[in-house]
Amino acid sequence: MGRRQTQIALLLGIVCWAAVLVAGGQGRKQPPATTLDLNTATVEQLQQLPGIGPTTAKTIVRFREKSGPFRRVEDLLVIRGITKAKLEKLRPYVTVAPALPARNRS
pLDDT (tens digit, 9 = 90+) per residue, 52-94?
999 999 999 999 999 999 999 999 999 999 999 999 999 999 9
How large a percentage of the chain has pLDDT more than 90? 60
User: Which comes out higher in pLDDT, residue 20 or 48?
Assistant: 48
SS3 for 95?
A: strand
| Helix ranges (DSSP H) in 1-90 | 3-26, 43-46, 54-67, 84-90
Q: Specify the CATH class of 36-95 in words.
A: mainly alpha
Is the confidence at residue 21, as pLDDT, over 50? Answer: no
Average pLDDT across the chain, whole number = 83
Task: Report CA-CA distances (Å) from 80 to 24, 61, 64, 76, 103.
Answer: 26, 13, 14, 9, 35
Is the confidence at residue 31, as pLDDT, over 70? Answer: yes
